[in-house]
Amino acid sequence: MTDPRMTAPCTAVRRDDLVPVCPFCESELSEIYLRKLRRSFGMGRGFIVFCPHCRKVLGSSAQWYPFPG
């Protein structure tokens, strides 16, 4: 028997009228900050995404090409 949560479709809804909220400081995020990362020995690229208000990390990635800005 399969889990019904795994077979039910998921719908993505665009909501430009909503502003995300930082899970740490609960400030509205009308913008987020990105910062480039360097891996050890200068190998690889990545970035972190963080809140402009409390500066806590919201996410990261091993690589994003091209990096904006």
Give per-residue pLDDT as tens, 29-48: 999 999 988 765 555 678 89
Nearest to 20 by CA among 59, 46, 48: 59
58 falls within a domain: yes
At 1, the pLDDT band (50, 70, 90 cuts) reads: low
The mean per-residue pLDDT over the stretch 16-33 comes to: 96
2 falls within a domain: no
Secondary structure letter of residue 31 according to DSSP: S
26 falls within a domain: yes
HSE value, Cβ hemisphere, 13 Å, CA-based, for 2? 5
At 61, the pLDDT band (50, 70, 90 cuts) reads: confident
Domain carrying residue 62: 19-69
pTM of the model: 0.66
43 falls within a domain: yes
8 falls within a domain: no
Please count the other Cβ atoms lying within 10 Å of the Cβ belonging to residue 29: 16
Q: CB-based contacts of 38: which residues, under 8 Å, 6+ apart?
A: 44, 45
Is 1 in contact with 22 (CB distance < 8 Å)? no
